[in-house]
Amino acid sequence: MREFFNALKVAALFIGTVIGAGFATGRELCLYFAACSTLTLALSAALMGAFCLLFLYLGKSEVKSSPIIKKAIGTITAVSAFFVYSAMLAAAEELAAGYYNLPLAGLFLGILSATLSDSLEILKKVNTVLIPLLIASVMFVAMSSPFSPLAASFRPVPALGYCTMNMLFAAALMRESGKNMRIKHMVISSVTVTAIIFALMLVMLKAIVVYKDFAMPFLLLAGASGYGYLGVAVIFIAVFTTVIGCNKLIAEELGRVIKNRYVNLLVILASGILMSLFGFMRIVNITYPIISSCGIAICLYSAAKLFLTRLTFLSQAFKRKLPEL
């Protein structure tokens, strides 16, 4: 039973990592899926679940990359995580200042994430508490409004592009999570991820598609329904769960250069705050397409590496069983 609950925690960690401010505002869903069918959403959710399983398994298996490739992936992941980290700080700052006239929200979020990103177990616990709250809030707000029909066109390209956009960070955390998991619990995590993300995407998109031309469709929907505070809460939860995951990944890679943990975290916070001054939309528009491309490349490389390794293993096993001529 303990392992079963750990599988659910891992699923919550995955969801918390891939769902950021873009999802919570509804902007990403409208951008990728406003002209797509329900089947496209299902494919994207299924791909997320499949990649979740892939990276969990890679963490447990003996599939290894060369030191150069491993270092390159680590560096790309950390740099990408830094840009997303900065974008999330900017989003928190802009949202708090715009809606509540509260300054320094980005700084406060950065400090809080630094204190809670010390270990994978802490990340799991935080996501296990916050993700159910996010799911409940999204479902409540969305179901308080009339649903609109979705388009009928099936488009696999947006499904793949969306699922790999934030996979870069989830991949690193899933590898670490999968080290001590059994296969059946990996499958439980994967199925849970697929089901929850599909439900969230479907319910939210059907509710917000009428606001697809606005910057924050879900926030508009929540405000129109009289639950604006829940809309803001959903965005802050999504921002926070993404920030703590990114903070951990950056700190681990930077730790190879800066050994002192406190100096490490201070450098991350200071540089993240400076980068966030460029603004949420500017950081997203410039860096996210590059991050998405890196995510696709690393996902495809990992899948190919696993396939070739298993193919080599099966080939060697088959040769050993052949009778000597």
pLDDT at residue 62, as a whole number: 63
- Identify which of 139, 181, 137, 235 has the alpha carbon closest to the alpha carbon of residue 11: 181
pLDDT at residue 315, as a whole number: 65
Torsion sign over Cα 169, 171, 176, 181: positive
pLDDT at residue 82, as a whole number: 94
Q: Are 181 and 6 in contact (CB under 8 A)?
A: yes
Cβ-Cβ contacts under 8 Å for 229 (sequence gap 6 or more): 222
What is 280-323 written as a DSSP string? HHHHHHHHHHHHHHHHHHHHHHHHHHHHHHHHHHHHHHHHHHSP
pLDDT at residue 197, as a whole number: 94
CA distances from 26 to 103, 206, 315 (A): 24, 11, 47
pLDDT at residue 325, as a whole number: 43
| Region for residue 179 given its phi and psi (left: phi exceeds 0; alpha: psi -120 to 50; beta: otherwise) | alpha
Nearest 5°: the CA angle 182, 193, 56 is 35
Superfamily of 2-321 according to CATH:
Hydantoin permease (1.10.4160.10)
pLDDT at residue 63, as a whole number: 66
What is 232-273 written as a DSSP string? HHHHHHHHHHHHHHHHHHHHHHHTTT---HHHHHHHHHHHHH
Each of the 325 residues of the chain gets a pLDDT tens digit; together they read: 777 888 999 999 999 888 877 788 888 888 888 888 889 999 999 999 999 998 899 888 766 777 888 888 889 989 999 999 999 899 889 888 887 888 888 899 999 988 887 788 888 888 999 999 999 999 999 888 888 877 778 888 888 888 877 687 888 889 888 888 899 999 999 999 999 999 999 998 888 888 888 778 888 888 888 888 888 888 899 899 889 989 998 998 998 888 898 899 999 999 999 999 998 888 888 887 888 888 888 888 888 887 877 776 656 655 666 554 4
Structure tokens at 109: 């979020």
Separation of alpha carbons 60 and 174, rounded Å: 10
